[in-house]
Chains A and B, each alone.
Chain A
Amino acid sequence: MELATGLAERLNDYARGHQDLIDWRIDFYETRGFEAGIKNNRIGGPYSAPGYKRSISGEIYLIWAGQKFTSAKLDSRVVDDFAEYMDIWRATAYHDPDGVGLYKPESIPEVDLSDERVKKIIDHQDPLPFRLLEQGLQQLSNQGIKKIDGKVRCYDGSRVIMNSDGLQVAYSQTPVDFFFEANDCYGESYGEKRWPSETEIKRIINNTGSIASLLAKDSGRKISGQMQLLFPPGIFESFLGQFLLTNLYGSLVVNRQSCFTLNDFTEGRQVLREDLSLEVNTLLPHRAMSYPCTSEGVPGGIIHLIDKGKLKTPILSLKYAKKAGLAPTPIPSGGFFLKSSRPIDPWEKLIQQTEYGMIIYSILGLHTQDTSSGHFSLTADQCLLVERGEIVGKVKAVINGDFLKALLQEESRLAFFEGEDNPGFAFRASVSE
């Protein structure tokens, strides 16, 4: 906070002496945290030694006369070396006829993102992360897992967003994440802005162990042809992020680099089945995806990107809101919700009703796929074959299809998962050895 107000004072002083600096906006983030891990069944070895980290980072945006703008990263030296930084910022200002000024929000909502337990951990008053790693190591060993890896990270951060128009938003947050991976084949993770409950910890460790144990048994089958692919929520979210959410960003839509056009939004093009909607909510307490406002000062909230299968709005920063002639939106930050208006069966029932299918727990190469096309061609390297409603054993296959088309098909199915934000998903696609 001290650095942010110090920088604000210097910026205001500078603006008083240099009339070409019209406005400014800063987003400062100060954080300190703790990390520790397990590699190959050992806590705190050379690659997972316990660590303490602290950093000061952020962004600055300057608005100059003549539609010129500066965009730069901030660091801890910015107040002490202000004159040097200002010279660089002035020298790297660029002309942008589409650039925008400051945003004036009516109000900024509040959301609780801080957990005192996490702060104690970072101050070394509580060895909870070591206990968590020990718990995972012990439980997974008891489940017969031979190789265990994992990591836990806890951070305490304070963020300040200010601008020359008087906006000042300050809040603290305590992001925590951990994961366990068993036998190099399956892992589950947690990521929120609070320390996890014992129920959450046990669920993640147990799931990791039981699914890895199922993957240890080879089905002995070779598979090919058309079959049902069953995506648990984690895999479904990765596909939604890669092929759907990416194409909703305003900068790609407006610049014709998305598979959707601006007209598709104004005309409400049907891109999902009519029971499906996609929304973002940044105001859920202690959630990883939550924040009160964007770095541009746009208030957080609920935004419906797709409603009843129809495109509603791209994800819009101030610049692209102006270019699109639409209102700016909150920006998704690590989470979204795909919802169906139809009743959906539990995941276990979906498996029971699967005649011939494959549950996919790991994909290799998703990041290499062309997001603008919707086509996928991937190796699913950790999967369980399902025949007549029963899990047979591990298989591996190359899968091919069009994910965006699958989201439109009536025969595609969703399945409910306890404790997950999004459902599982099942659809038909082509599979080869």
Chain B
Amino acid sequence: MRVEQYNQVVDEAKKIGLAKGLYFILRLQSRKDLGVHINNGKTEEISSGNLEGMGLQVFTPEGFMGFAAADQINQQVVCDLFDKAAFLAQQSQSFQGEPNVEIFKLKAHQTRKEIKLEHPYGTLSLVEIENRLKGLNNELLVMDPRLSVRTLLRLTDEEWRIIRSDGTDVVFNTPRSMLYHSITAKSDEDTATTFANLPGTDLGLLIENEPVRKIQERAKKAAKLGLDLLSAPKLAGGHYKLVIDYGLAKGLAHEAFGHAAETDSIESSILGENGRFKTGMLVADSNLSIIDGPLEGDYAYQPISAVGEERQTVKIVDHGKLNAGLSDIFSAARAGVPYTGAERIENFFHLPIARMSNIRIEMDNAIPMNQEFELVTPQDLYHILVENHLMQADENVLYLAGFQGGQVNPAFGDFVFHCSGIYQLCPEPVLYKPAIFSGKILSVLRSVKAAIGRLQIDAIGTCGKMGQGVPSCGGSHYFLVIDQNPEVTIGGK
């Protein structure tokens, strides 16, 4: 990998660290990006970019820290960065900064994890990529003259090398790709925008039949939803029995639980008490578990943490009980949980913080479903629910479709996420405009009563925290059924 060519820089850092008597973590990153943007059948832009640089985190023997980063990798720059970071670590000490010596407890290791791509950039010519994307874009445009469509393909070839002064040297790559449609339906009276996307690791998204068919199905569904939303009424706000799709379930796991389980903020998290993680607390039905962990080829793949340790797969909730936090080295012991290697950074300019990777809700005894998720209609869902006694034929149940993002305040336990559209389930389901789904972290999971279908864990997003955005992914079974709860609200007129 490209980051393996910088042995002289690594040696220089080790030499300086030894001479100054300072512990350090050096992070080298090399990233190449390609973006192809099609707008209403025409190429809007093709953009390329490289990002390569290093970040150096220095620790005094007392645990005071300084950090320095630059988008250049060479021996002179590593010397400069060391001087800056060492000076700032001293400044931190003189201004009564917060020391932390946990990093000194890690053991040295050398690890190399490389994902080999089946369809790297170059497998298709740029013209062929453009033509295939235009084809996908045009398929939607011709559906209805009220539609306009932006289509984006993004390829990221990213490599990391993390070196610690204790002898640790790890190398890994996190390649990812993403195909995305933003579909706007517009009438004289109203406008609605819906989305469809599919993650991958490389150009396989445009080459292999299965992903192409899948994005086509998702896009058609989103386009039809956008058109239907133009004439959809607003729902009356309130508390309802709900069915959410796996994209929203990812939002639920991520916003409602994942963030609150990150131990770097456990002092103020609703899942902490006196700075300790509330291990053992009953938070959900005994069939339900929430799991976070790296999956090879996943959009949010992170096999090694940003301090160079292997990232663990963590059962945050194990059959209804709070089991483990997503912990970084600096906060794990303080929070009273095992260290899980949850550190991530957006790029080498940043300091590591605890983050999720792929987070999913799994339930025992999920009701099987043979159809593919993309082909399930609201009518199908209604019939499955009634047949399995999950709703009465005339019960008022809402189906929330399409995840549009979310947010949480872990200190107060409030979370929200937004959907693309809401169906009232009945023999002829009625569509309503989207509305916010909000609630209390500690209430909502207890109301999840059933799951339908296989696990589908490719709901992607970008997770923002403390000014850093990292790829996120996850999901659940196709659908989760959530009982009516006074602390779970659907906004509305």
Q: State the A residues within 8 Å of B (CB).
A: 39-40, 42-57, 70-73, 75-77, 88-89, 91-98, 124, 127, 130, 133-134, 147, 151, 183-185, 251, 255-259, 362, 364-365, 367-373, 375, 377-379, 381, 396, 398-400, 430, 432-433
B237–A49 contact, CB under 8 A? no
Contact in complex: B45, A94 (CB < 8 Å): yes
Name B349's contact: one of A55, A56, A88, A370 (CB within 8 Å).
A55
Q: Which of B30-84 contact A (CB under 8 A)?
A: 33-34, 39-40, 42-53, 57, 64-72, 81, 84
Whole-angstrom CA separation of A322 from B69 in the bound complex: 41
A selection of 16 A-B contacts at a CB cut-off of 8 Å is A44-B92, A46-B65, A49-B66, A50-B88, A51-B67, A52-B81, A55-B349, A75-B52, A257-B193, A368-B436, A370-B193, A377-B436, A378-B436, A379-B416, A398-B237, A400-B435
Q: Specify which chain B residues have a CB less than 8 angstroms from the CB of A147 in the assembled complex.
A: 267-268
The answer on a CB contact under 8 Å between A368 and B404 is yes
* A257, B150: Cβ atoms closer than 8 Å: yes
Closest to B33 in A: A73
Q: Knowing that A46-B264, A50-B67, A400-B492 are A-B contacts, what are 11 other residue pairs whose CB atoms are under 8 Å apart, sorted by A's residue number?
A: A44-B65, A47-B264, A49-B57, A51-B351, A71-B46, A98-B42, A130-B95, A257-B150, A365-B418, A373-B433, A430-B493
A433–B48 CB distance below 8 A = no
* Assembly CA distance A51 to B435 (angstroms): 41
Tell me, in angstroms, the Cα distance from A362 to B414 when the chains sit together: 12
Q: Is the CB of A364 within 8 A of B192?
A: no
Q: Does B407 contact A (CB under 8 A)?
A: yes
In the assembly, what is the distance between CA of A133 and CA of B92, in Å?
12
Residue of A nearest to B267 (CB): A40
A44 CB, min distance to chain B CBs, angstroms:
3
A381: chain B residues within 8 A (beta carbon): 409, 412, 414
Report B-chain residues with C-beta under 8 Å of the C-beta of A42.
97-98
**Minimum distance in angstroms from A219 CB to a CB of chain B:** 15
Q: Is B126 an interface residue (CB 8 A)?
A: yes
Query: Known: A51-B351, A94-B130, A184-B409. Contact between A398 and B491, CB under 8 A?
Result: yes
Cβ of B24 under 8 Å from chain A: no
Query: Are B268 and A184 interface neighbours, CB within 8 A?
Result: yes
A127 adjacent to B91 (CB under 8 Å): yes
Q: A72-B49, A256-B184 are in contact. Are A378 and B416 (CB under 8 A)?
A: yes
Bound state CA distance, A183 and B330, in angstroms?
Answer: 22
A111 vs B126: C-alpha distance when bound (angstroms): 42
| Complex interface: chain B residues within 8 A of A40 (CB) | 267-268
Contact of B405 among A57, A71, A368 (CB under 8 A): A368
> A424 → chain B, closest Cβ, in Å?
23
B329 to chain A, nearest CB (A): 8
Whether, in the assembled complex, B200 has its beta carbon less than 8 Å from a beta carbon of chain A, the answer is no
Q: Which residue of A lies closest to B464 (CB)?
A: A367
Choose among A72, A88, A379 the residue with the greatest number of B CB atoms under 10 Å from its CB: A379
Q: Which residues of A contact B241 (CB under 8 A)?
A: none
Chain A residues with Cβ below 8 Å from B234 are: 375, 400
The answer to whether B491 and A95 touch across the interface, beta carbons within 8 angstroms, is no
- Whether A400 contacts B67 in the complex (CB less than 8 A), given A42-B97, A49-B88, comes out as no
Knowing A43-B98, A365-B407 touch, does A53 contact B126 (C-beta < 8 A)? no
CB of A323, distance to nearest CB on chain B (Å): 11
Q: Is the CB of A91 within 8 A of B126?
A: yes
Determine the chain B residues whose CB is within 8 A of the CB of A375 once the complex forms.
234, 433
B121 → chain A, closest Cβ, in Å?
10
- Complex Cα gap A124–B182 (Å): 46
Chain B residues positioned under 8 Å from A75 (CB to CB): 49-52, 71
Instruction: Choose among B50, B89, B238 the residue that contacts A432 (Cβ–Cβ < 8 A).
Output: B238
A395–B456 CA distance with the chains assembled, in angstroms: 38
- A364 with B408: CB separation less than 8 A: yes
**Which residues of B have CB within 8 Å of A70?**
46
Pick the 4 closest A-B CB pairs, nearest first: A73-B49, A44-B97, A45-B98, A368-B418
Report yes or no: A52 in contact with B68, Cβ–Cβ below 8 A: yes
User: For window 383-442 of chain B, which residues contact chain A by CB distance below 8 Å?
Assistant: 404-409, 411-412, 414-418, 433-436, 438
The answer to whether B100 has its CB under 8 Å from any CB of chain A is yes
B85 within 8 A of A: yes
A39, A364, A373, most chain B CB atoms within 10 A: A364
- Most chain A beta-carbon neighbours within 10 Å: one of B52, B88, B130, B408: B88
Indicate which residue in B49, B71, B88 contacts A76 across the interface (CB closer than 8 Å): B71
User: Which residues of chain B come closer than 8 Å to A362, judged between CB atoms?
Assistant: 409
C-alpha spacing A274/B52, complex, angstroms: 51
Residues of the A chain whose Cβ atoms lie less than 8 Å from the Cβ of B126 = 91-92, 94
B96 at the interface (CB under 8 A from A): yes
Query: Measured between C-beta atoms, what is the minimum distance from B147 to chain A in Å?
Result: 9
Instruction: Tell me, rounded to whole Å, the shortest Cβ–Cβ distance linking B140 to chain A.
Output: 13
Task: With both chains docked as a complex, state the minimum distance between the C-beta of B191 and any C-beta of chain A, in angstroms.
Answer: 4
Of the candidates A49, A96, A371, which one forms a contact with B43 in the assembled complex, judged by CB atoms under 8 Å apart?
A96
- A364, B49: Cβ atoms under 8 Å? no
Q: Does B119 sit within 8 A of A, measured CB to CB? A: no
* A43 close to B438 (CB less than 8 A): no
B316 within 8 A of A: no
Chain B residues, CB < 8 A from A185: 409, 411-412
Which residues does chain B contribute within 8 Å of A49, judged by CB atoms?
57, 65-67, 88-89, 92, 97, 351
Please name all residues of chain A whose beta carbon is closer than 8 Å to the beta carbon of B407 when the two chains form the complex. Answer: 364-365, 367-368
Do A45 and B237 touch (CB < 8 A)?
no
| Cβ–Cβ < 8 Å partners of A51 in chain B | 66-69, 85, 88, 351
Chain A proximity of B361: nearest CB distance (Å)? 20
Q: A43: which B residues are within 8 A, CB to CB? A: 92, 95-98
Smallest CB–CB gap between A179 and chain B, Å? 10
Q: Is the CB of B435 within 8 A of A364?
A: no
Given contacts A381-B414, A400-B237, contact A256 B70 (CB under 8 A): no
Q: Known: A94-B43, A256-B148, A430-B237. Is A52-B84 also a contact (CB below 8 A)? A: yes
Q: What is the CB-to-nearest-CB distance from A166 to chain B, in angstroms, rounded to a whole number?
A: 26
* Complex Cα spacing A371 to B194, Å: 11
List the A side residues contacting B88 at CB < 8 Å: 49-52
Cβ of B19 < 8 Å from any Cβ of A? Answer: no
Interface centre among B84, B406, B411 (most CB of A within 10 A): B84
Residues of A within 8 A of B6 (CB): none
The docked-state distance in angstroms from the alpha carbon of A73 to that of B50 is: 7
- State the CA gap A433–B33 with chains docked (Å): 45
**Which B residues are in CB contact (< 8 Å) with A400?**
234, 237, 435, 491-493
| Contact in complex: A365, B330 (CB < 8 Å) | no
Q: B276 an interface residue at 8 Å Cβ cutoff?
A: no
CA distance A95 to B68 in the complex (A): 41
| Cβ contact within 8 Å between B48 and A88 | yes
Q: Is the CB of B492 within 8 A of A45?
A: no
User: Is there an interface contact between A255 and B150, defined as CB atoms closer than 8 Å?
Assistant: yes
Q: For the complex, is B443 an interface residue (Cβ under 8 Å from A)?
A: no
Cα A48 to Cα B92 with chains together (Å): 10
Q: How far is the CB of B234 from chain A (nearest CB, A)?
A: 8
Q: Which residue of A lies closest to B67 (CB)?
A: A51
Residues of B within 8 A of A39 (CB): 98
Q: A260 — nearest CB in chain B belongs to which residue?
A: B191
- Is A377's CB under 8 angstroms from B34's CB? no
Shortest Cβ distance from A153 into B: residue: B467
Q: How far is the CB of A157 from chain B (nearest CB, A)?
A: 13
B166 to chain A, nearest CB (A): 17
- CA of A147 to CA of B269 in the docked complex: distance in angstroms? 12
Chain A residues near B372 (CB, 8 Å)? none
| Residues in A neighbouring B104, C-beta threshold 8 A | none
Contact of B484 with A by CB under 8 A: no
Which residue of chain A has the shortest Cβ distance to B88 in the bound complex?
A: A50
Interface contact A184-B411, CB-CB below 8 Å:
yes
Question: Which partner residue on chain A sits nearest B353 by CB separation?
Answer: A47
* Bound complex: CA A377 to CA B436 (Å): 5
Residues of chain B from 170 to 199 with CB closer than 8 A to chain A in the complex: 182, 184, 186, 190-193
B414's partner among A93, A127, A130, A396 (CB-CB below 8 A) is A396
Question: Chain B contacts of A257 at CB under 8 A?
Answer: 148, 150, 182, 184, 193
Q: A53-B70, A432-B237 are in contact. Are A377 and B97 (CB under 8 A)?
A: no
CA distance A97 to B39 in the complex (A): 13
